[in-house]
Amino acid sequence: MKSKAPHYLLTPILVSAFFILHIVNEYFGLLPTHLIVKYSLYYGGLSICLLALAIYLFKKNEKAVFWSILALIIFFFFGSFHDFIKSTSLPAFFSSYTFLLPFFLLALIVGIVAIRKSSSTFITINKYLFLLFALITSYETVMLVVNSFRRDELRLVQNRQQQPVTELPTIADSARPDIFYIVFDEYPSSLSLKENCNFDNGSIDSSFKRNQFIIADSAVSNYNSTPLSIA
């Protein structure tokens, strides 16, 4: 009896396809086409490379497919899982990167050892995962077609949201206060510099305070991107 592994080799690609399609539908009309194509190629290449690595490690296609799917699920849905953990009542340590990154790395390594030693063929679970991602990817594809037909309607809503507010009174520039928002991009807070680098940032803070600036001396961010952090 021939192995059905070639059939399951499509599943890692389906995982990437589902993730891309879901994001495109979630933010339909807001993502430029070149960006969608770019990350589709990135993630498709990642899936293929990860599957090739898994085949080299396990020597059996069924086990390789199963492990690569788990790795891709961790990669794509880490952000959502992280947000969920932060919303629970667990201690902050369990939602920190200090805990989560080593935890998932260890999980992947333990997974390699456990799957290699397992006597299971992983046929049933691979069938289930293939069917699951085939269905939800098909759903997202249908939603993409539906959104494409509603493009004009969605664009109208977006344009309304972007229209400037005209009801506000006009104020002369001379009557407006001078407001300066200064961002030291990639520069840690004074508290972080003191605790992690043993560096005293007091001279800069004092200079701003003398000029009546308000300092976010204990600032933190959930993102590694400046525009998202500022927002």
Tens of pLDDT, residue by residue over 123-133, are: 889 889 999 99
The lowest-confidence range among 62-66, 93-97, 98-102, 227-231 is 227-231
Q: How many CB atoms within 10 Å of residue 53?
A: 14
- pLDDT for the residue numbered 164: 54
User: Quick one: what percent of the chain has pLDDT higher than 70?
Assistant: 88
Q: Which two tokens stand for residue 93?
A: 């340590």
**What contacts 71, CB < 8 A, 6 or more positions away?**
50, 54, 108
Who has greater pLDDT, 162 or 149?
149
Nearest-10 crossing angle of helices 33-58, 61-87: 130
Q: Check pLDDT > 90 for residue 222.
A: no
d(CA 114, CA 70): 13
The lowest-confidence range among 10-14, 90-94, 146-150, 221-225 is 221-225
Q: Which two tokens stand for residue 123?
A: 């046929």
The whole-number average pLDDT for the span 89-100 is: 89
Contact call for residues 15 and 75 (beta carbons, < 8 A): no
Tens of pLDDT, residue by residue over 37-73, are: 999 999 999 999 999 999 998 888 889 999 999 999 9
Who has greater pLDDT, 158 or 191?
191
- pLDDT for the residue numbered 141: 95
Contact call for residues 84 and 140 (beta carbons, < 8 A): no
Q: What is the pTM of this model?
A: 0.63
